[in-house]
Amino acid sequence: MPPEENKKAVQRMLDAFNTGDLTIVDELMAPAHNDLTPFPGTSGAPDGLKRQIRHLRQAFPDVKFTIEDITAEGETVAFRWKMVGTQRGSLLGHGPTNKTVEHHGNDFVKFAGGKMVEHRSSDNLRELLHALGHEPKFQPGRDPDLNAGTGGKGRMEDVPQGSIVRP
């Protein structure tokens, strides 16, 4: 797809985060999609992204993602995003705080044949947890929505070394 179409697809994927419409994931991602930095307690496959979206939306029911900057060249899109939401549910094993936070990150998405085939994200989840008043450690095994389908292994230790760029 032309770079401008790829940018539109990235914006559409943010619609999945903003609305919870998981059919968007199936629409835009290749079945063999590889997320090189999956959210803790999830996988790099499309089902892992769906689990992440469900988890974030239950933690922040009012969540709103926006793109602050976006550029595309060839089959790669790079963008900076902003998330704003109030934590009213569990996040990575930490209970609700009712605090509203703003969180930022940078992502790279590669396309092939009109589908997203690779994703890499860089955001600071420890900083997000700290802003919410939580001890900055991941406890996804304590969240049923992140634990589903993992055989009870939704723990940070179960995420392959080097696959998280969220120190």
For residue 155, tell me if it sits in a domain: no
For residue 161, tell me if it sits in a domain: no
For residue 21, tell me if it sits in a domain: yes
For residue 50, tell me if it sits in a domain: yes
For strands 100-112 and 29-35, give the pairing. Answer: unpaired
For residue 156, tell me if it sits in a domain: no
Long-range contacts of 101-104 (CB under 8 A, 24+ apart): 101/128, 101/131, 101/132, 103/127, 103/128, 103/131, 104/68, 104/80
Residue 14 near residue 81, CB atoms below 8 Å: yes
Residues in the chain: 167
For residue 33, tell me if it sits in a domain: yes
Higher pLDDT, 44 or 152: 44
Hey, which residues does 108 pair with through a beta bridge?
78, 120
| pLDDT of 166 strictly over 90 | no
For residue 47, tell me if it sits in a domain: yes
Split at pLDDT 50, 70, 90, the class of 25 is very high
Residue 167 CA to residue 162 CA, distance in Å, equals: 11
| pLDDT of 132 strictly over 60 | yes
| pLDDT of 152 strictly over 60 | no
| pLDDT of 131 strictly over 60 | yes
For residue 164, tell me if it sits in a domain: no
Range of the domain at 37: 3-148
Higher pLDDT, 118 or 147: 118
Q: What's the confidence (pLDDT) of residue 156?
A: 42
Q: What's the confidence (pLDDT) of residue 159?
A: 37
Instruction: Indicate the number of domains in the chain.
Output: 1
Written as one string, the DSSP assignment of the chain is --HHHHHHHHHHHHHHHHH--THHHHHHEEEEEEESSPPTTS-SSHHHHHHHHHHHHHH-TT-EEEEEEEEEETTEEEEEEEEEEE--S-BTTB-----EEEEEEEEEEEEETTEEEEEEEEE-HHHHHHHTT--S---GGG-HHHHTTTTT--SGGGSPTT-----
CATH code, domain carrying 41: 3.10.450.50
Residue 110 CA to residue 63 CA, distance in Å, equals: 25
First to last CA, the chain: 33
